[in-house]
Chains A and B, each alone.
Chain A
């Protein structure tokens, strides 16, 4: 079983659409057993692209992947040790003078436990916080989707991604799947690192703009650090041929082969807006064979 992660650095370059057509092609045309994991837990969208309805989800689980400091007020001895220097490095604790107790900013608290360790009265405890809901659905294409939605106002996206991947791996083992396909988050921070750690192959999607190239270069540097094989897809390449050339040069310099150049194709937007499965299928047959061929021939990586 292999894992492929589709990532991009910059958002909105076509990551999710390209992940979806790769999945469709492998499932429909090559009869591969795959598990689709939506690891953009901040703003997951795969369930929309795959046209899933509420009834398609057969499993739901609450994820408690982070902790937050809370005060047991009656135990507080007002010593103020928790607000002294070198305790909370995240500015999450302030002293409420009126009530003479500490107050915790839940948006800033990282759940590190430093305040709870320093408190001589054991008045500060860490409480598990529900920070996501994970769901599994059966899609009309035959493969399952594992997705999770971060709770509004919560953090810990990286830890939630790790949970999504764990569930996807379990499911893949059960189904004897050939591949786990991961749709990653934008950026290069914790959710992205959690998405590419230990993956067999990274498909880096970009577009011909200076911003996308800059973000791609940050992603490629990260991928190199994790020693993951990476290939590049330039989406909407014909919108700026000069920039496309620049990206191609960059790809050569970095030894990250160019897998495909996909033109600006309005059918992508149409398939998205109208959630048109047949159109998505057509797009997958148009563009995916070349991508898979390139991965195989250039990097001898076959799915």
Chain B
């Protein structure tokens, strides 16, 4: 069984993707690592790793399809749809707004004449990449991507996790990079991991959002540890981060300083060239854990 770690943080831009990539690169020197991009809204790891993505599977959603020859224009389907995806005007056939549909079965269940069947719509895709270009043969990437204009991210994250569960046993570590925020897509990514790494920065915003994400991991019963990124940005605020960690019965397991070199490496997609000394304490912690 591999060890599964989620890299999360609440706030955007604290360095989640950078940290999960560095962690994956570092661990892959000794172990087989599967890096998972669960930010289906805006997946970036394939760009950071200059990886060519191969389509693994399409994520599809069941949507209703009306057989108007059976439809009696009762409007019940429109009444039960919580997402306002079915517009009904008296005396007319229902109009379907597919972008609003979340793919539940309510309309099909309620229809008294069985006039509603099933169709499918594509809502996203799952990709697999080998990172051969960087000579990181022990590292594989699996990423999710939501179709633009679709609203619900969590079904794509759930499909991603299903794919991951199919072949995760081939790996020693599974590292999941979550989206920013704290709602369903992040919750779906966090469920079932062994522990979470909350990446934060020493600013009032970082502190605020760290409390949010630690409250969430606590509620989900997931052990969480704090990684303080850009640690030297404001020394006094680092104390505040420490006290939040203590409040949640956890600790700062590693600090990474703000370094222009990291930004440059990140912005030119060359993270693999960063010296390992920079993040070695983190790797050591993960190995021991």
Q: CB < 8 Å: which of A91, A112, A214 contacts B158?
A: A91
B55 within 8 A of A: no
Q: Are B13 and A87 in contact (CB under 8 A)?
A: no
Q: Which of B108, B212, B219 contacts A43 (CB 8 A)?
A: B212
B121 to chain A, nearest CB (A): 13
Return B70 CB to nearest CB of chain A, in Å.
18
* B94 interface hit (Cβ, 8 Å): no
Contacts of A190 in B (CB 8 A): 151-153
Q: Does A218 contact B (CB under 8 A)?
A: yes
Complex CA gap A214/B208 in Å reads: 27
**Number of interface residues, chain B, beta carbon within 8 A:** 66
**What total count of A-B pairs have CB within 8 Å?**
191
The answer to whether B204 and A48 have CB atoms under 8 Å apart is yes
CA distance A114 to B63 in the complex (A): 14
CB neighbors of A among B1-22 (8 A): 10-14, 17
A48 to B212, CA, bound (A): 14
Cβ 8 A contact of A110, one of B11, B102, B268: B102
Residue A186 at the chain B interface, CB threshold 8 Å: yes
Q: Choose the segment among B129-137, B174-182, B245-253, B276-284 that binds chain A (4+ C-beta atoms closer than 8 Å).
A: B174-182
Chain A's nearest CB lies how many Å from the CB of B227? Answer: 15
Which 5 residue pairs are nearest across A and B when measured between Cβ atoms? A12-B13, A11-B12, A112-B104, A42-B181, A187-B41
Binding site for A on B (CB under 8 A): 10-14, 17, 39-42, 44, 47-48, 62, 80, 82-83, 102-106, 108-110, 146, 148-155, 158, 179-188, 191, 202-205, 208-209, 212, 215-216, 219-220, 233-234, 237, 263-264, 266-269
- Supply 27 A–B pairs (Cβ within 8 Å), ascending by A: A10-B13, A11-B180, A13-B12, A16-B205, A42-B182, A90-B104, A90-B155, A107-B184, A113-B106, A114-B104, A114-B109, A117-B109, A150-B182, A152-B212, A152-B216, A153-B220, A186-B181, A187-B42, A188-B41, A189-B150, A192-B41, A210-B269, A225-B149, A243-B267, A269-B203, A269-B234, A273-B203
